Amino acid sequence: MIINDVHCHFFSPQFFATLGRQRATPEADSRNPARPPSASDICRELNWDDPVSPEALAHRWIAELDAQGVTRAALMASLPGDEESVAAAVARHPARLVGFFMVDPSAADATERTRHAITELGLRTVCLFPAMHHVPLADERVGRIVEIAASQPGIAVFIHCGALSVGVRTKLGLPSRFDFRLGNPLEVARLAVKYPSVPFIIPHFGAGMFREALMAADMCGNIHFDTSSSNSWIRYTPGLTLDAAFKAALSVVGPSRLLFGTDSSFFPRGWQKGIYDTQKQILDMCGVSAEDAALIFGRNFDRLFPAAG
């Protein structure tokens, strides 16, 4: 069976350098500017491997996917402004990697960046984190970005809903001032109704807003779920198990709109095989046919993101 992973993070040198700049340096002033920690400093502090360059990191990802038997993966630029890093990786391995990128709709250059990432850099999914960027999905700045995605064939929109924690920020003591009210799957449904040709991806089954995510996907045939991460949100619904969540998603959304993902990110940890093992076991236990499992683990990904090159 082909395994494609729709949810991996590309933690590039620029990603770590940006986190370094976000580090508060209270002792700095204009006459004595404190040098922000470099990407390498940040990696050393985290005890993670230094990605060195986008090309080297792309190479590492490909070696990891090969070692784990994963055919293709979506890699997300995980901070706004890091599109070029992922584009460099995808350009090297267009048959294996699909580029996703995060956009902050409140940024002055958000529409320009989105257009550039899609039309010039060949990235294929816009990622929105409304709770992080404090822009409601009904805001016209979001509308303008989705409009750009809709104007190009084959571009998807990923919208993080529900609970959100960014492990690397917590580890570095960086603030995470998220407004969780803003990530509601029913607001994704509003956009999905307006742009029926655009595939929308809600990660982690809605990350705690499972009922709303199911409602949204039931009403809108262009809403997909990704299955990534440990899905620890299930503890917000008393008694809910991941098996039961999969069963409900299969019965409401169906196997054609579930996309397997792990939420893998840094090295040396690499690709999170444990997530795959757990989900494979659950689908086997649920009696999902080999054909439906093949859709979830790989074919839906290939349908949404046909291999380039």
Q: Where along the sequence are the contacts to Zn ion (CB under 5 A)?
A: 263
Q: How far is the CB of 232 from Zn ion (least distance, A)?
A: 13
> 82 or 263, CB closer to Zn ion?
263
Of the pair 77, 220, the CB lying nearest Zn ion is at 77
* Alpha carbon of residue 192 to chain centroid: 18
CB 58 within 8 A of CB 50: no
Q: Using alpha carbons, list the distances in angstroms from residue 225 to 7, 100, 131, 221, 267.
A: 11, 16, 18, 11, 26
Residue 194 beta carbon to Zn ion: minimum distance, rounded to whole angstroms: 25
In 3D, which of 223, 225, 228 has the Cα closest to residue 193? 223
263 vs 292, beta carbon nearer Zn ion: 263
CA distance 133 to 166: 13
Which residues touch 33 (CB under 8 Å, ≥6 apart)?
none
Burial of 11 (0-12, 13-18, 19+ CB in 10 A): buried
Chain position whose Cβ is nearest to Zn ion: 263
Pair of tokens at residue 60: 């590492």
Name the minimum Å distance from CB 9 to Zn ion: 6
Query: Contact 234/242 with Cβ under 8 angstroms?
Result: yes
Residues with Cβ within 8 Å of 119's Cβ and at least 6 positions away in sequence, in order, are 152
CB-wise, 16 or 195, nearer to Zn ion?
Answer: 16
* Spatial distance between the Cα atoms of 128 and 74, rounded to a whole number of angstroms: 15
Place of tokens 């993670």: 48
Structure tokens at 274: 């444990």
Would you say 127 or 282 has its CB closer to Zn ion?
Answer: 127
Nearer to Zn ion among residue 187 and residue 263 (C-beta): 263
Question: Which one, 13 or 261, has the nearer CB to Zn ion?
Answer: 261
- Name the nearest CA neighbour of 116 among 75, 151, 74, 83: 83
- For Zn ion, the closer of residues 212 and 263 by Cβ is 263
CB of 7 to Zn ion, least distance (A): 6
Which residues on neighbouring strands pair with residue 258, listed in sequence order?
Answer: 225
Distance CA 65, CA 73 (A): 8
Spatial distance between the Cα atoms of 195 and 205, rounded to a whole number of angstroms? 21
Amino acid at site 232 = S
